[in-house]
Chain A
Amino acid sequence: MTKASVADAPVVARKAGGRSAVRQSLIPGSNPRTFWIYLVPGLALLTLIIVVPLIWNVYLTFTDYRGIKPPEWVGLENWVKLAGDTTFWTSFSNSIAMIVAMVVVPTLLGLVLAAMLFDLIGKKFGGKIASFLRATYYLPQILPGVVAAIVIGWILRPQNGALNQVLEGVGLNGLAQNWLGNPDTALPSIMVIMIWVQLGYPIVIFMAALQRVDPELYEAAELDGANWIQRFRAITVSIIRPEIFVVTLTCTIAALKVFGPIYTLTGGGPGTSTIVPAYYAYSEFFQSQQVGYGATIATALTIVIAIVSVVFLLAQTRLERQEEER
């Protein structure tokens, strides 16, 4: 939006609030307040399914609860225990490894691959090859997590697993090992698996977003002598920025609360080498029956995720506003 159109915004808006362009709905003459009714079904369901259990859970963090006898109030005991719990801190440092494997690598690689497929392969070798490759990259995303774990489990297993057989086949016997059973290789193995699982998601979203880029913009840049990398940075990245935000945020959330692969592949082990907060909470909830402490871990995790999301969304909103005022 140009400056002129902001200045032209209807007078109603300026009366309603300070920053005219921001307070106005996109439909001329209709007050944002009248849109609340559209939020009613969504927010009602949200309250029932998410907010109530969340509050219930926060209450449990102040109790000793084994699942049978009614919860017993213990104040901050669980939280004090949490602060000194090394397993808990290990689980969070493993979360950072998960962020690298599920956010950093897939987003960067996804950006390059999406641009490569859309821009080079799609245009020079035909859209069919590009969409075939995209579908291949997306395959692991459609694989049910449980099924993926079963398959990966027998590819990586020490006796006659496919990976060790391949290594032996090419004469690298020394590298063959119990990939998920060795504390040194378990976490890196999980990271590789997560990159494999995640990569297709940013590619599909970014390729869809790239269609919004006006091809004439590329042609103009090309005529101006911009090379592929310059075009990629100046045009591609800036135009699909909203999608980059969506992908990074949703993947970060997914990485922080990753559960399925750990549950099915390693159970957090060997020792605590692959434990993550969500799995630790689960094992306290359902294996140790320490429901109060499980709730505390889960709540701490939720707080971390919420803080990350707030920072992200505020940054995104600020960027959008800057864009609008430009």
Chain B
Amino acid sequence: MTSTIIDEAAKAPVVGPPARQPRKRRSSTTRKTLGDWMILVVAILIGLLIAVPFFLILINSFKSPADYNAAGPLTLPTELYLDGMVNFWQRVDFPQKLWNSFFISSVVAILAVLVSLLNAFALGIGRVRGRTWIVLLILLANMLPQEVLLYPLYFMFKTVGLYDNQWAVIIIFVVIQSAFGTYLLASVLGTFPKEILEAASLDGANKWTMLWRVVYPITKPTLSVLVIFFFIWTWNEFLIPLTFLVSNASQTVPVSIAVLQGDRLMDVTTTSASALLGLLPTLIFFLIFQRTLTRGITAGAVK
């Protein structure tokens, strides 16, 4: 089980003896040279550079417009100013937008992973004839520029009465996200250990049982990574929700933020506060499921 390496590594400094003392295992690799420290410093500097815009959002979200005009974007706020945030929260009915985004993104994430798994089972394990071309056809969903879909889907959903309905957006993104999922899972399942499947088929398992009792549990780490990706990607989508969710009550968080930008009443610090509120949900979601990402994206963990 290679999947436990990171977890062990994460626990080691806590459980194990302090670094000064000789370690029981791989003592030679834990000795830190000057070069190691330099690499660590470089890695931290890169991290800081990447995080700068986030610090800027943070400090300007709690600044009053007067403070901002006087001291500019780089200083810390002189007092804790919450009006910008409160203002934005109430203006867009933020809890409602949060729920809309959460509902759409979670349903898409789960359904898209399910579709990806079914597709990849046939392509990776079943090795259906012409699978490279089928993967390619499915990847079309990823390749098409989204503008192409707007006119035709607008007419189609209007005809069946799903226009301005969240399910329209859900169906579209299940297809788009599962294209990536199918591609990734099919190549991962293509290297699925044959011995396990052979053993299961000797036990008389049929394909459906094998999918859920053998393939599903073993690929679970990859599937959860996909759930996280799909959730975040769908949450951040803009063009299609903007087009298909016209009524205020069905809008998502990014759409509601963007719609407010045209508003002349929005000052810089309210904009910053809206950016902070817009990124917090995905940030929290990411931090909660961070560990899942470390468990690996491949079924190779069984090797």
Contacts and interface: CB of A to CB of B under 8 A. Distances in A.
Interface of A: 22-30, 32-39, 41-43, 45-46, 48-54, 56-57, 60, 113, 116-117, 120-131, 133, 135-148, 150-152, 154-155, 160-162, 165-166, 169, 196, 199-200, 204-205, 207-209, 211-215, 219, 222, 242-243, 245-246, 249-250, 253, 257, 259-260, 264, 277-278, 281-282, 285-286, 291, 294-295, 298-299, 301-302, 305-306, 309-310, 313-314, 316-317, 320
A42 B118 CA distance: 8
Contacts of A41: 115, 118
B145 A257 contact: yes
Interface string B43-61: 1101100110110110000
B207 A35 contact: yes
30 contacts: A26-B192, A27-B201, A35-B121, A38-B211, A39-B134, A49-B149, A50-B140, A52-B152, A53-B144, A57-B152, A116-B43, A127-B10, A128-B13, A129-B40, A136-B47, A142-B232, A142-B279, A142-B282, A144-B235, A147-B274, A155-B53, A162-B74, A165-B74, A205-B297, A208-B293, A211-B3, A212-B296, A257-B144, A281-B148, A285-B147
A152 B207 contact: no
B142 A253 contact: yes
B96 to A, nearest CB: 17
Contacts of B153: 49, 53
Contacts of B152: 52-53, 56-57
Given A140-B53, A298-B145, 8 more contacts: A49-B172, A125-B36, A126-B9, A147-B278, A199-B50, A253-B139, A298-B147, A305-B143
A115 B64 CA distance: 44
B contact face: mostly helix, strand, loop, or mixed: helix
B297 A209 contact: yes
Contacts of A129: 40
A213 B194 CA distance: 19
A129 B134 CA distance: 41
A151 B115 contact: no
Nearest to B242: A146
A11 B256 CA distance: 61
B251 to A, nearest CB: 12
